[in-house]
């Protein structure tokens, strides 16, 4: 299985939304809580918000 395929599975099929999620939060995020930004931690949240977060064109 390719890395891209694994990323899609782990992020619930929303790799672009996951990247957006991380980039929006990483500047203000404490380094000792970086595990909160891991794909498996935010996958459920991304699935819930997928309809609300349109991708940039």
Find which of 15-19, 21-25, 37-41, 42-46 is predicted with most confidence, using mean pLDDT.
21-25
Structure token digits, residue 38: 């891991």
Pick from 6, 11, 3: nearest CA to 50: 11
In the predicted structure, residue 7 carries a pLDDT above the cut 90: no
Distances (CA, A) of 37 to 1, 13, 42, 43, 56: 23, 16, 7, 10, 21
Q: Where are the domains of the chain?
A: 3-49
Q: How far apart are CA 6 and CA 32, in angstroms?
A: 26
pTM as predicted: 0.61
Return the ∠ at Cα 57 (arms to 55 and 11), rounded to 5°. Answer: 30
């Amino acid at each position: 299985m390719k890395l891209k395929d694994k990323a899609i599975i782990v992020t619930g099929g929303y790799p672009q939304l996951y990247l957006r999620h991380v980039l929006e939060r990483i500047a203000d995020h404490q380094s000792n809580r970086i595990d909160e930004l891991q794909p498996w931690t935010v996958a459920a949240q991304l699935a819930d918000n997928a309809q609300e977060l349109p991708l940039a064109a």
